């Protein structure tokens, strides 16, 4: 998948240099090393390009990053999160660049992973909603991803004002800007949302797009089941990371009122509502169906991923024990 955890990694990576190139793997590479992808490679290419910190995308990047890959694209170094990425046979995919000193690390975003999001969809719980207490979330943790591995499993995402500031553009509307307001759930932020926002962005020469996000309770009222899959805090970061978005209203009303428009100094006149065709029929429901259709494959993927990570942790512990047990020479 492509989620706000990836966006946060790319934000940190961009801060380490001047020009950010992002390599995106093919479906076949992901299927071989991790399991079935949720989004297709074409969807992922376009979604990553829509993240505002990305300067360039390499399509079909190799799963194992080598010095040859870095040299091919004139990169000084590569960046990855502080979790570990393993090949199908359990090898560190960044081993070569680490040894050469051309590897940097950024902080992984606690509380989100493809594993967790898939688990939410399969379990059909509401434990991730912002109005649910932590005991219910703990049940979700116990049911999916036991947390034996520090990289795989479930931990609750905690929103902070600093995180919002890091993602927000901080730009006020400028004279001559056309202020455009759109609203919705924007759940599991996907290529359908990106295509829609791209079309909206093209409606004006200098667009200033404000996205209104409905609270979890409101989304659940009109969508039902365990929607939204992402709570309002997670959806906020997902939308803010998109290069077409200027501002987000957290907890926007379901009905667009005069007061809401006045808040953004939008002219009170008739005929300001426009309907646009994004050209994309993908919905959050459709993504759910992809997961459900391949339920057994995704469950096997998550178990296999955690098993590999646990094996690496155990090997690291054994190595530490051997090092500590060696006799020290006296000088």
Residue 238 and residue 314 share a domain: no
Both ends of the chain: CA-CA distance in Å? 55
Residue 105 and residue 117 share a domain: no
pLDDT at 55: 98
Residue 34 and residue 10 share a domain: yes
Residue 165 and residue 95 share a domain: no
Residue 241 and residue 202 share a domain: yes
Separation between Cα atoms, residue 161 and residue 247, nearest integer Å: 15
Going residue by residue through the chain (331 aa), what tens digit of pLDDT does each one get?
A: 899 999 999 999 999 999 999 999 999 999 888 888 889 999 999 999 999 999 999 999 999 999 999 999 999 999 998 877 777 777 889 999 999 999 999 988 877 788 788 888 877 667 767 655 545 444 444 444 444 444 444 446 677 888 999 999 989 999 999 999 999 999 999 999 999 999 999 999 999 999 999 999 999 999 998 899 999 999 999 999 999 999 999 999 888 777 776 666 544 444 577 888 999 999 999 998 888 887 777 777 667 767 766 776 777 677 777 766 665 544 4
Residue 226 and residue 196 share a domain: yes
Separation between Cα atoms, residue 7 and residue 53, nearest integer Å: 8
Residue 126 and residue 144 share a domain: yes
- Are 115 and 305 in contact by the 8 Å Cβ rule? The answer is yes
Residue 205 and residue 278 share a domain: yes
- Are 238 and 189 in contact by the 8 Å Cβ rule? The answer is yes
Residue 105 and residue 248 share a domain: no
Residue 100 and residue 133 share a domain: no
Give the range of the structural domain holding residue 208, as residue numbers without chain letter.
161-282
> Which residues contact residue 61 at a Cβ distance below 8 angstroms, ignoring those fewer than 6 apart?
23, 24, 25, 69
pLDDT at 267: 43
With 0-12 CB in 10 A as exposed, 13-18 as middle and 19+ as buried, what is 79? buried
The CATH code of the domain that includes 229 is: 3.40.50.620
How far out from the chain centre does Cα 20 lie? Answer: 17
What's the domain count of the chain? 3
Residue 292 and residue 317 share a domain: yes
Separation between Cα atoms, residue 4 and residue 235, nearest integer Å: 8
Residue 92 and residue 78 share a domain: yes
């Amino acid at each position: 998948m492509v989620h706000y955890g990836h966006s946060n990694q790319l934000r940190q990576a961009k801060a380490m240099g001047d020009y950010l190139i992002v390599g995106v793997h093919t479906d076949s590479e992901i299927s071989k090393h991790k399991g079935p992808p949720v989004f297709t490679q074409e969807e992922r290419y376009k979604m990553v390009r829509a993240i505002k910190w990305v300067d360039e995308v390499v399509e079909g990047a190799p799963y194992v990053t080598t010095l040859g890959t870095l040299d091919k694209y004139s990169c000084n170094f590569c960046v990855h999160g502080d979790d570990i990425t393993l090949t199908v046979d359990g090898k560190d995919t960044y081993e070569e660049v680490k040894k050469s000193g051309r590897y940097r690390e950024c902080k992984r975003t606690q509380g989100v992973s493809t594993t967790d999001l898939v688990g939410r969809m399969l379990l059909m719980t509401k434990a991730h909603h912002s109005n649910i207490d932590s005991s219910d979330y703990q049940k979700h943790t116990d049911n999916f991803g036991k947390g034996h591995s520090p990289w795989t499993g479930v931990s609750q995402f905690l929103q902070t004002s600093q995180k919002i500031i890091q993602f927000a553009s901080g730009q006020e509307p400028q004279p001559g800007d056309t202020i455009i307001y759109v609203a919705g759930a924007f759940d599991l932020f996907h290529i359908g949302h990106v295509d829609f926002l791209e079309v909206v962005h093209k409606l004006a020469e200098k667009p200033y797009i404000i996205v209104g996000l409905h609270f979890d309770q409101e989304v659940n009222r009109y969508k039902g089941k365990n929607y939204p899959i992402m709570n309002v805090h997670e959806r906020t970061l997902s939308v803010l990371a998109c290069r077409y978005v200027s501002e987000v209203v957290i907890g926007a009303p379901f009905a667009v009122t005069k007061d809401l428009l006045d808040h953004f100094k939008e002219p009170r006149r008739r005929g300001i509502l426009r309907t646009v065709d994004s050209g994309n029929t993908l919905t959050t429901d459709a993504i759910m169906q992809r997961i459900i259709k391949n339920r057994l494959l995704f469950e096997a993927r998550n178990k296999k991923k955690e098993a590999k990570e646990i094996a690496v942790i155990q090997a690291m512990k054994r190595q530490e024990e051997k090092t500590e047990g060696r006799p020290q020479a006296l000088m």
